[in-house]
Amino acid sequence: MNPEIIKELKENWVILIIAFALVFFSFGVPNFSLPFIYVPAMEEFGWTNAQVNLLSTSKFIIGAAAALGMGILIDKMGGKLSVLIGAVSGGIAMAMFFLANNLGIYYLAGALLGLSASSIVAAMKVVISRLFEINQGLAIGIVLGGTSMGQVVMPLIWEPALNAGYNWRMILTVLSLGSFLISTPLWLIFMARQGVAQDVINAKSAAHTEGLTMWGHFKQISKEKGFWLLIVSIFLVSAVDQAMMQNYVSFLRLDKGMNLRSFAWLVSIMGVLAVLAKIGSGWFYDKYSIPGIRLFYFMLALSVFLALPVSGIATLTLFLTVRNIAHGGMIVEAPIITKHYLGKQNLGMTIGLVSVAINIGFAVGPPVLGYLYDLRGNYTLGFMVYSAVAALAACMLIPLKPRYWTPPSKRRKQEAEAAPSGLQPAGA
């Protein structure tokens, strides 16, 4: 392995661990808890499928605004404050579900979850993209593996807790302790230290010192057709991915008649695959850039289609395998395609803009799928439509070529050519 790759990982291993924990508690825990609360919430309060799924809409609408706002805040002030806001608000949001006996409080708690998740994830995307040049995809994959770790852990908590008769609101309240007792203290301790990572996290964007506004930056990049292809494709796959994440438990229970206990263990095991796929997809994107991202989009389309014939453990295993590999490539791709296609200028702001598309997709996808279920009484039509949408998103990336990325083979050649003359390798 290239010694520069090893050196970059060794120098920044602490921030990778801290960032993984932050993403797990702010995004992984709540996001993979929500699918387990929808059926109990419908049973307790008589809400419809579309109404309970609107929780994710409130979460991600606020998340869209928070992602853009936090991206700009990081460019102007650094990442310390935005991460602290995210860690604390996540704990408050989950504790608030204890009082969620009406839709107003239910949606308000979801909105705070959106603020938390977007603050953390947007900050981590920017920080990791700043710290890593050679291993950007791999590092982001490791950090965002915290999202999929929620799939590993949450079924092991929710299935026995619900079967033991505990109320879903009480379970969420107990889970809020992770933010208060682990992620927030970890961040404060880490940022109290002095070092290169802390300097990078606290650094402002040079573009902001030159007076470039958000609107000015947006006008620059929005003139290109490729920017809109990027934005729309990411919006579409985000809608599909989140709709599947929020509805797969309801699908297996309502459409397939499966008992929660009969598949929770398999979902948890397959969550390990999703964590590994996050890391693997990041490594894959480092090697293949946008064409690699396109492949994962097509895989997402296939995974949705494979849900339809599920009838037992064998077909469920096939569906979950392809689903978790495809899901592993989602979210990881956003900072990669942003940096590779649009460059590093105002990276926080640009990732913020892309994150708006992601969060709006997250907001739209689940309730529309829930509405299609309410309309037809099953998920068949919705899954067929969503499979086609993911395939369309993959096709939209075909014209895009990476402009600010050097393939590994060319990078090694440049380093070899530069070495005898004493020049620095490309990108140094």
In the structure encoding, which two tokens stand for residue 230, read together? 């990027």
Q: Residue 45: which of 169, 141, 210, 224 has the closest Cα? A: 169
CA 334 to each of CA 89, 199, 282, 355: distance values in angstroms, whole numbers, following the listed order: 24, 24, 11, 8
Burial 173-182 (b: 16+ CB within 10 A, else e): bebbebbbeb
The predicted structure's pLDDT at residue 245: 87
Does the global pTM surpass 0.85? no
**From CA 313, how far away is CA 166, in angstroms rounded?**
27
**From CA 19, how far away is CA 422, in angstroms rounded?**
36
CB of 363 closer than 8 Å to CB of 375: no
Residue 422, φ and ψ in degrees, nearest 5: 80, 10
In the structure encoding, which two tokens stand for residue 36, read together? 């387990």
The distance in angstroms from the start CA to the end CA of the chain is: 18
**From CA 115, how far away is CA 68, in angstroms rounded?**
11
CB of 158 closer than 8 Å to CB of 264: yes
Single-letter amino acid, residue 172: L
Q: Residue 317: which of 252, 381, 380, 384 has the closest Cα? A: 252
pLDDT along the chain (428 residues), means of 10: 67 85 90 88 89 83 77 73 86 93 91 86 79 80 88 90 93 93 90 79 59 68 90 96 89 90 86 90 91 96 96 93 92 87 78 84 89 92 96 96 85 64 42
**From CA 336, how far away is CA 327, in angstroms rounded?**
16
DSSP for 63-98 reads HHHHHHHHHHHHHHH-SHHHHHHHHHHHHHHHHHGG
User: Domains of the chain (ranges plus CATH)?
Assistant: 3-402 (1.20.1250.20)
CB of 302 closer than 8 Å to CB of 322: yes
The predicted structure's pLDDT at residue 424: 45
Length of the chain (residues)? 428
**From CA 62, how far away is CA 85, in angstroms rounded?**
14
The predicted structure's pLDDT at residue 3: 64
What percentage of the chain's residues is helix, strand, coil (to nearest 5)?
80, 0, 20
Cα dihedral across residues 87, 88, 94, 95: positive or negative: positive
Q: Is 211 left (phi over 0), alpha (psi -120 to 50) or beta?
A: left
Residue 413 CA to chain centroid, in angstroms?
Answer: 34
